[in-house]
Structure 1
Amino acid sequence: MALQIAPSILAADFARLADEAAAVPNADWLHVDVMDNHFVPNLTLGMPVVEALAKATDKPLDCHLMIEHPDRWAPGYADAGASSITFHIEACRAPILTAREIRAKGARAAMALRPATPIEPYEDMLSEFDMILIMTIEPGFGGQQLLDACVPKIRRTRELLDKHGLDVWIEIDGGVSAYTIERCAEAGADVFVAGSAVFNADDPSLVVDNLRSLAERARA
């Protein structure tokens, strides 16, 4: 598959979200971080903002739910306009059922793992997902440095997916920049979430092109 760049609006100007989305026309996705101040110690935005953003851009929305009780809330984000919905396995009581409910609504379903959560216990349910999100920072705040200890987990996840012949994407989120993206791509990541590196730049679209080029070179 083609490698994909998903700028995170967590680093954008929330008062100008439509304009910020328009600043990255070459992005594959817009990554939307939903935080509830319970699962993570931060509070961002929710379903009404996702619904408004979906009307303001033609970019597909990749919603990352860092919330408690995703079983209850996740399917509703598909109704709000999200094309991909990620929930944390640590917070979900019925992950397979939740993934199937999301897919039944026409959205992609993804499972997220915090840095200390291993992938191996979930090997038998990988086929229920369209994507695995490996957090490369502790979730909650942008601008952190990528945790190098998470890179081997990317590689192990790729090996498990290949072992079972699964067409499941690997997404990474946290500390993605021109200095880190190559080793993550080489380890097997497909989708790269970048927030500060993109929206803090003078030319966000140029950064998206550069990140894609670096990832493709490393994968090749």
Structure 2
Amino acid sequence: MSNTIKIAPSILSADFAKLGEEVRAVDLAGADYIHIDVMDGHYVPNITIGPDVVKALRPHSDKVFDVHLMIAPVDPYLEAFANAGSDIITVHAEAGPHTHRTLQAIRNLGKKPGISLNPSTPESVLEYLYEDVNLILVMSVNPGFGGQSFITSQLRKIEAIRKRIEALGLDIDLQVDGGVNVETAKQVIAAGANVLVAGSATFKGGPSKYAENIKALRG
């Protein structure tokens, strides 16, 4: 595994009245990815943004747009999010009946496929999918809202997935999303994660603090 820790600020915690400015600010502050949480009010109990907003934000940063689709069904929307400027498109293992087909569709759109596991979803669902993904996202809160507390049982899942990735000799980003702050960041990095999604911990204190916050998360 690369020792480089990547920080992916979740714009869910940004000021929605000036999202373009916020994306530029975290880009300049040292973000590696821009994490975009898409929620549909159906798969998760919240509604956030659609592909038009992703498209509107694209000119504001050259960083990787890491788009997390918490929507079901997900397949009808893949092309729209790909065309909007996504670089990584992550879907939930439970969001459709044919996960392998969904991941193939993302790859065929020229994007990097990711798969996300909810806290109650076992890592065994990945067994026949490792070769088909560039990113695995372990949710350390139940998806739907920002600002939740970290679920510590997910550390075991992160460790198990990292061991499996290494055993297979694959180059896969292992991402963690939910309750990530300076304290829990150390735990998830030790468990094997190399990409940290952080909303509240990045955006707290306003733009003058973003660089400091990102540096602290990186450890």
Q: TM-score, normalised by structure 1?
A: 0.94
Alignment match, 2:25: 23
Among the aligned pairs, what percent are the same residue?
41
Amino acid at match of 1:28: D
Provide the C-alpha distance between the structure 2 equivalents of 1:15 and 1:163, rounded to a whole number of angstroms: 45
Q: Per-residue displacement from partner, 1:24-75 (whole Å, max 9, x unpaired)?
A: 1210011000000000000000110011111222222110000011122123
Are 2:200 and 1:188 aligned? no
Provide the C-alpha distance between the structure 2 equivalents of 1:92 and 1:109, rounded to a whole number of angstroms: 15
| C-alpha displacement of 1:192 | 0.3
| C-alpha displacement of 1:135 | 0.1
Amino acid at match of 1:33: D
Contact conserved, 2:93 with 2:115, CA < 8 A, in 1?
yes
- Aligned alpha-carbon RMSD (Å): 1.1
Alignment match, 1:49: 53
Amino acid at match of 2:5: L
Alignment match, 2:90: 86
Q: How does 1:28-177 map to 2 (within 5 A)?
A: 28-177=32-181
Give the match's secondary structure for 2:7: strand
After TM superposition, the structure 1 stretch with the greater mean CA deviation from structure 2, 144-153 or 95-104, is: 95-104
| C-alpha displacement of 1:147 | 0.5
Number of equivalences: 213
Provide the C-alpha distance between the structure 2 equivalents of 1:19 and 1:124, rounded to a whole number of angstroms: 41
Contact conserved, 2:40 with 2:47, CA < 8 A, in 1?
yes
After TM superposition, the structure 1 stretch with the greater mean CA deviation from structure 2, 200-209 or 25-34, is: 200-209
Contact conserved, 1:74 with 1:87, CA < 8 A, in 2?
no
Are 2:217 and 1:211 aligned? yes
| C-alpha displacement of 1:84 | 0.6
Q: TM-score, normalised by structure 2?
A: 0.94
| C-alpha displacement of 1:162 | 1.3
Give the match's secondary structure for 2:205: coil
Unaligned runs of 5+ in 2: none
Unaligned runs of 5+ in 1: 215-220
Provide the C-alpha distance between the structure 2 equivalents of 1:121 and 1:33, rounded to a whole number of angstroms: 22
Provide the C-alpha distance between the structure 2 equivalents of 1:138 and 1:37, rounded to a whole number of angstroms: 14
Alignment match, 1:217: none
Alignment match, 1:198: 202
Give the match's secondary structure for 1:171: strand
Provide the C-alpha distance between the structure 2 equivalents of 1:125 and 1:195, rounded to a whole number of angstroms: 28
